[in-house]
Each structure stands twice: as structure tokens, then as C-alpha cells.
Structure 1
Amino acid sequence: MPTPRRSPAPAQRRPQPSRGSERPVAPARRKRPRWAMRAVTTLSVVVLASAGIGHAVVSSLDAKIARVDPFKDMKNRPQAGNGMNVLLVGTDGRDRISEEERRKYRLGGAPCHCTDTIMIVHISADRERASVVSLPRDSYAEVPSEDGRKAHRIKINAAYAEGGPNLTVRTVEHMTHVKIDHYLEVDFTSFMKTVDVLGGVRICTAKPLKDSYTGLDLPAGTHRLKGGQALQFVRARHVDSDSDLGRVQRQQRFMAALIERATSSGILLNPMRFRDVTRAVLGSVRADKGFGTGELLDLGRAMRNFSPSSSEFTTVPIGQLGYDVKGVGSTVKWDEERAARLFRTLREDRPLSGNRPRHRTVPVEVDPRQIHVQVENGTKETGLGKRVDSALAGLGFRTTGRPLAGAERSLERTVVAHDPGWDRSARSLAAALPGSELRPVKGLGPTLKVLVGTDFRQVRKVRVEDPLQGHSTVVRGDETGCS
């Protein structure tokens, strides 16, 4: 594989002036939680570049991108760091969605032509990592004073309505102190076509997902979602105990699955398929004037081995939900200290996940410390029950420490027996026991029972995000997909 070469610093490409517990927690209020489809569509533009397709094909695609100048007359900008920072914003345009699709996928209503997606994608200088940081649309923000405009307080998504791409970039840079190198803006009308032209995206769900708001209706299991269902999957708000956090996790899983589909299927190495995919994506994209053929080719040459494990996702750390600001309303206030550390990490071109071990952990709904477990050895193997009990206790599960003796006849499959009222705890426990079977038992009470079968191989590490602090949890793309 050729040695990756660094892209020239943005200032070298053109003069600076032209650059520019199980109880749910009340989520922050959002009228239109639809950011993921624009985020996924926009991120796919970067992913498509990883194929290393020839100059002629990329040049023809470049011509399809509408141009904006978000860096015009910008002054007092942050100092540039290593790597490349792309600001992704999404608007709610839907001009090319048919009336039939609007009814089928619950897409009625008039677009507000506002921004409800803001994300920073950092591509490392060695082009081996993409770090994606989401900035919630209702984040409390301060617009800097410049060009006669007084400094004032807003929700961060209102910057677009006030001053378009230019004020959006100014506000994000002011809040994060991260210099933005490129700007990409999309609407969600191309989302369904993008997913369809990729042949669908594979996702997994451990429980049925049904949401009357979007029309999503998925049984538990593995599914390959086409465009319409994918749109429902990333928009659904009413399938989780905490609508916002549950939706964020699903959106991250979908983004990782999209990257895996695009990079592992061979689609991007087939010029004709590559052309079809990019036509579906780029028709609704607006970008800064500097993001063109050269940038696409440079990313392509350096990112041919890009994969889900090369990506990491997080949301800016949140200090307070429902933070009331006079004249602005209820906002999401960042944890200033932790947010500063996060953005410093981006500026220094370091991975957000640090040096944590590269083992797969599984997100769960309930903290293991709240789950009571009785282990029973369902096999003739001596000591197996004690081994499982100790391993689960090591993860924080509240085991009895006294596993029951083995059975006369070996159980082939490990079972997690649970009272139907403790189904969320049961799913969290089952996630730590790969391949286990969930078995509802009425009247069992709050203590879950693990019957260890001959199929048992390991206890898998799990993680749970605090409903508030979870906004700063970092997950890699290969940790968000199907096990």
C-alpha cells in the first residue's frame, strides 16, 4: 500500500481571506429529531472518496456540487491544527420526495429550511482515522461580535437562520476553538436513494422496535434496511426509554454500518456503481469552494483501507439538559471543562478513545450494578457455575456468590430466565452472555436466573452510559454494528 501523504495545510491551498437505574430520564425537547439522515448522507461523501477512483470520474462528480463561501471575510480564526476538520450541517429539504413516500414514511409537513444537524468530522493527518463529534441542535451558543454584529446568545442551530453557512462556521469555531477546513451541507432527500443504491444497510436489534411517529416496525433480529426503513430507523424517537439517547445510539450504529457496507462490498471499486452512488449523494450537497477534485483524490489515495474500526463517534459532553436562557428558551448546556478537553484532543490530532483496550464491548440499557443474578450450573462440568458467577460479578452484576449445583442432564444452551417486568435488565444480562436465550418466567421476581449451558464460552464486557454523561462516551465504528 502506498505511503499516505499529508494534504497541504488549508492556508497553502488558497489565500486565507477566501477560507474561510431503569427509570427513564426526561430528554431535552426537540420538535424535529431528524439530524441523522443528513449526517449519514454527508459523511458518505467522505467515505466515497476512500475508493481511490480515477481523476476523470471524481472531476465529473465535483461539477455536481453546489458551492458556497462559508469562510468569506472571516477574521480572528483559531489556529490550524493537524489533520482536516469538516463541518457537516443538515437542512430539512425534501423537494424530491414523492407524496407516496411522504405518507408511507411519515414525512409530512413543510420544511423549516433550518439546521438541525451539526457535526465536526476530523480526518487525521495520516488519513487512518475519522473522529465524529455531534453538536446537539439545541446547544446553548454565543455568537461572536464581528462586522458590526453584537455578540448574543442563541441555540446553535439558529446561527444558520441568522447568517447562513458563514455565521454557522463562525459560531462553531467560537464555541469549540477548532478551525474548520471544509464545509459540507446536505438535505435529507437523497438519504433514501443513497441507501438504496448501496443495496441496503445491515443492522441488528435485540428487541422489537415499533414507533407510531415514524411508522418503524422491526421485529428483533438482523435486517437489511432499504432507504425508507433506514430513514424510519434513524428518526424514531419513541422506541427507547430515553428517546434522545436511544436515538443517538441507533444513529451511530447506522453510520458505522453504512461505512462498513460502502467499504467492504466492493461498490466503491466499481466505477459504474461508484458513479451511481455518488450521483445519489451529491445532488443535494453544498460545499465550500476549496473542497473539490484534489481533496477527493487525496482522501481516496490515503483512505483505501478505511473501515468501521477506523471511525469513532461521540457527542459533546453535556452539563445540563433543559438549561433555560432568557430570550432563547430551553437549551442544552455543554460541560465546559470536558468539552474543552474533547476539542483540544481534536486540535492535537489524537484519537478520542485514547489508549483504551481494543476489545469489543456491548452497550446495555441497565447498569449491571442494578441487576441481581442467581447462577445455576446447567451442565455436569464441575466449577462452571462458580466461574460464570465470578465473571459476572467482575462486570458489576450483583450475583449471589453461591451458584447452584449442576444438573443431572446437561443443558445445551445458556438461558437467562426473567420475570417479564424485568425485561430490560434481562436484555442487559444476556448481552454479557453471547448466544444465551431469554426466557420469560412469570412470578420470578427481581432476581434473574442464569442457567449455564454447554454452549457457554465467555462472559463479554458490557458498558452502560449514564443518561447525562453518556453524551461524552466514545465508541468506535466496529463497536456499534452487529455482533
Structure 2
Amino acid sequence: MPDRPSRGDDARPIPQRGRPDASRPGHEDDAVYTVDTRGRRRTSSSLPPRERRQERPTRRPDPRDAARTVDGRAQRPERVQRPPERVERVERVERVERPISPVDDAPRRRRRWWRIVPVVLLAWLAFLVFSPLHAWGTVSRVDDIPSGERPAETPGNTYLLVGSDSRDDLTAEQRKELGTGSAEGRRTDSIMLVHVPAGGGKSVIISIPRDSYMPIPGHNRNKVNAAFSIGGPQLLVQTLEQVTGLRIDGYLEIGFGGFADVVNSLGGVDICVPFDMDDPKAHIDLKKGCQVLDGKNALGFVRARYSDPRGDIGRADRQRQFLGAIMKGAATPSTVLNPFRYWAFTHTAAGAVGVGQETGIRDAANILLAMRGAGNGSTLSLTVPIQSANFQTAAGSSVKWDTERAKALFTMLREDQPLEAPPAGTDGKPSEG
């Protein structure tokens, strides 16, 4: 058996059981040397031929593996298990800016619009409230509080509305254009009581013919128009309070010039003229039918007496008709939605009127709402019950009231009884034949 190569310091003879020991004398020829290969990897050269053929090819050594010796034995370094690498997949999203077409931007614009709508509405409502409040600060005050004893306060509110024919604030050109003449002093072309009930029912506008014959405190009996000429608003309020028994809670007066300006600020008013009206004294020539009247023609329409067969009674009816028309025009979308026209109307109206010392903006609002109702039927439009439209007196031809019916009407108003229809005798027709 050929000698096996030495493996180094670790090769030493190991006695074999059942075999002669070569280290003993006399047995050199039979000595057998074995090499302890425990703990070492068996190579193909150390395997028997049969096993060598069946051996699988081994992996080539990794040069990175460094061999080390422990106790004289070659040891394979332990491999360090590396944790699996965590591969994070980062997706890069590139934002590509592209122009937005008007079609794509439409929903976005709509969203922006709906956000703006509440702001616009609030601003508009604030403007609608602010404009009349600001205009109210420009009104002129008149002394309307009468002296002496006054009637007790009633549950509702009663206001005196006066149309003055004063020309003091008109120039010569305006007097000529409006046909007001050149008469001096102050008179009333229209006198109305506006009653707003507290317990329900409709508001009432009652026309008082300016030629109504009645006692004037301190001045005997005369036409009611004379009370205004003699003592102004104070005496007129005192006279009507004593005759009607109603406490007058507010006073509002408008003159010729202001009347025309208010109409023009609205761009005219729609009026249905009941018949052809050719009245040189009122400077009008109007045809029957519905039409838009400017300030000049509207003033002539409410002042005309001689072209109306009913005289002063017919004029009172047209004045109430006109009040409803002017308030209807003030509430139209063309006025309310036009800030310039709305501002012009509120401030022109405020500059054209004079209000009583104790008349507040709430009182003015009650008057305007009642005037507006005259055009849609929510306000009763009446004339004080009349017995005669041609009653001969020391003051000339006058209007005599139907005393019993007039007392009944004013009693209902004092007691705040609800009215849903005009009482008998309030249609302006005299009870005498």
C-alpha cells in the first residue's frame, strides 16, 4: 500500500483494533498508518474509487471566505446572514401643467359664483336698508304740534298727509313749466288721513276735500283749506283732531316742485286716465287710457279741477290713484334693482317732503306702505261721507259732510274696528240727490 502524504502536524498514528501495531518491534512490515480526518472535509482523493464516482461536484471555494485555524483545525468561517435588502419602489409622479379649456373651467367658475351669491345678496339688502335711512337724515322738519287739549291716543295710528301748493321754492321758469301760477302764500291741494289699524283689518286712506266746511279753532267756521293758510300745519292738525276725534300721530307734507321731481326720479309713473283731460289751468292735455306720465303731466293730473265734472271730489279720487301708482313704481324691479334710480328716488323723496316734529321713520314707512296698498286693493281708499258738494256758505261754495255717517266712520277708526270694505257713503257721492 503506498504511503499517504502527511497532512501536517495533525497526522499521528492511531492504533487500529484487530490489526498489528507497527510501533511495536518486529512488526515494521505489518505497520499500518492511518490519519485522523475527523472534523475535516473528505476530499475526492481520500474516498474510495466507488464513492469517488458517486460524489457530486463540490462548489468552488469562495475566495472571500477566509480560512482560519482553531486548535490546529481548518475551520470555515461562519457566514453572516444578511437581512434581505428592502427595495423601496418610488414612483415619481410628474405633474404636467396643461392649459384649461373654458369647458373644463366651467364647473370651477360655477362654484366660485355660488360662493359670491350670498355675499352679493347681503350687500344688496344692506344697500336697500341704508339708502332710505341715509335719505331720512336729509328731511326737513315742520312744527305740527298743536296747542291746547288734544284727543286721547287710539290703538291704531293716524297720520295727516298734505299736498301743499306753495310756490316759494319754485323759480319763475319752474312755475311757468309746471303751470302753478304766481299766487303767494300756502294752501293745500290735497288733505288725506291715513289710518293704520293695530288690531287687524286694512289700512284706510280718507280724502278730506279741501273745501270742506267746518269750525276752525279761533277763526269761526271756514273751509278746511283756510286753516292751513292761516296757521299752517299746527292749526290744520288741531282743526282735524277736533272734528274727527282722532289723535294725529304723524305729519307729512310735499310741495309742487318736490312732487314733480319724485315722479321724474322714477322715470315717470303708469296712470290710467279715466277720460280726456284738456285743462289749460293745469297745463295738461291728456287722452283717455293708460300711459306713462312725467312729472309735469302727473302734477297736472292730480291738480286738475275744471276738466273733471266731479270737481274737488274727482280730484281727491285721482290723488289717491296717483299715490298708489307712484308707490307701485317705486317697488318695481327697474327701481329696486337699479342702484342709481333707487338712490335717486329715496333721496329726492326725502328732499321733497317735510315731516312733523314727532314723526319718525317708522311712521313714514307706515304711510308709504298704506299708499302702496291703494294700488293693489290691500288699502281701502275712501272719501269722507258727503251730503252736498255745493253747499253755499259765507266762504262761498263749500263741501258739507254727512254728519251721521262721518261720525260713524271716525268712531270705527278710534275704536280700531277692522274694516274690510268701504262703509256706506264713502264713495264720494253726495247723499243729497
TM-score, normalised relative to structure 2: 0.61
Question: Aligned pair in 2 of structure 1 residues 243, 296: CA closer, same or farther (>3 Å)?
Answer: closer
Q: Out of 313, 323, 326, which is 1:258 matched to?
A: 326
The answer to whether structure 1 residue 138 and structure 2 residue 100 are counterparts is no
Task: Please list, as runs of the form range in 1=range in 2, the aligned pairs for 1:461-472 lying within 5 A after superposition.
Answer: 467-469=429-431
Residue matched to 1:280: 348
Q: Secondary structure at the match of 1:203?
A: strand
Q: Show CA shifts across 1:48-104 (max 9, x none).
A: xxx9966643442222122233225442x2222222111122322234545444334
Q: Out of 225, 229, 234, which is 1:166 matched to?
A: 234
Task: Please list, as runs of the form range in 1=range in 2, the aligned pairs for 1:49-448 lying within 5 A after superposition.
Answer: 56-71=130-145, 73-75=147-149, 77-125=150-198, 129-144=202-217, 150=218, 152-205=220-273, 207-265=275-333, 267-268=335-336, 272-293=340-361, 295=363, 308-326=376-394, 328-350=395-417, 352-354=419-421
Unaligned runs of 5+ in 1: 1-50, 145-149, 357-463, 471-483
Deviation at 1:154, TM superposition (A): 2.2
Letter in 2 for 1:120: L
Q: In the alignment, is the contact (CA less than 8 A) between 1:140 and 1:331 conserved in 2?
A: yes
Question: Aligned pair in 2 of structure 1 residues 264, 351: CA closer, same or farther (>3 Å)?
Answer: farther
Larger radius of gyration: 2
Larger deviation, residues 121-130 vs 106-115:
121-130
Figure out how many residues of one structure are paired with residues of the other and give that number: 307
Deviation at 1:248, TM superposition (A): 3.3
Highest RCO, 1 vs 2 (Cα 8 Å, sep ≥ 6): 1
Q: How much is the aligned-residue C-alpha RMSD, in angstroms?
A: 3.6
Question: Aligned pair in 2 of structure 1 residues 56, 299: CA closer, same or farther (>3 Å)?
Answer: farther
Letter in 2 for 1:308: N
Question: Aligned pair in 2 of structure 1 residues 169, 157: CA closer, same or farther (>3 Å)?
Answer: same
Q: In the alignment, is the contact (CA less than 8 A) between 2:266 and 2:329 conserved in 1?
A: yes
Larger deviation, residues 152-161 vs 234-243:
234-243
Deviation at 1:177, TM superposition (A): 0.4
Q: Distance in 1 between matches of 2:291 and 2:415?
A: 39
Residue matched to 1:432: none
Deviation at 1:224, TM superposition (A): 0.7
Letter in 1 for 2:145: F
Deviation at 1:271, TM superposition (A): 5.3
Question: Aligned pair in 2 of structure 1 residues 270, 346: CA closer, same or farther (>3 Å)?
Answer: farther
Q: Distance in 1 between matches of 2:338 and 2:199?
A: 25
Q: Distance in 2 between matches of 1:128 and 1:53?
A: 32
Q: Secondary structure at the match of 1:157?
A: helix
Question: Aligned pair in 2 of structure 1 residues 264, 129: CA closer, same or farther (>3 Å)?
Answer: farther
Q: In the alignment, is the contact (CA less than 8 A) between 1:182 and 1:288 conserved in 2?
A: yes
Q: In the alignment, is the contact (CA less than 8 A) between 2:382 and 2:422 conserved in 1?
A: no
Q: Secondary structure at the match of 1:283?
A: helix
Q: Show CA shifts across 1:232-257 (max 9, x none).
A: 22222343333334333333332222
Q: Show CA shifts across 1:319-360 (max 9, x none).
A: 22333444x44432211100011112222334555389xxxx
Q: In the alignment, is the contact (CA less than 8 A) between 2:324 and 2:374 conserved in 1?
A: no
Q: In the alignment, is the contact (CA less than 8 A) between 2:186 and 2:228 conserved in 1?
A: no
Q: Distance in 2 between matches of 1:95 and 1:74?
A: 30
Q: In the alignment, is the contact (CA less than 8 A) between 1:127 and 1:303 conserved in 2?
A: no
Aligned residues with identical type, % of pairs: 37
Q: Distance in 1 between matches of 2:310 and 2:169?
A: 32
Q: Secondary structure at the match of 1:190?
A: helix
Unaligned runs of 5+ in 2: 1-124
Q: In the alignment, is the contact (CA less than 8 A) between 2:194 and 2:367 conserved in 1?
A: no
Question: Aligned pair in 2 of structure 1 residues 154, 108: CA closer, same or farther (>3 Å)?
Answer: closer
Q: Distance in 2 between matches of 1:221 and 1:302?
A: 25
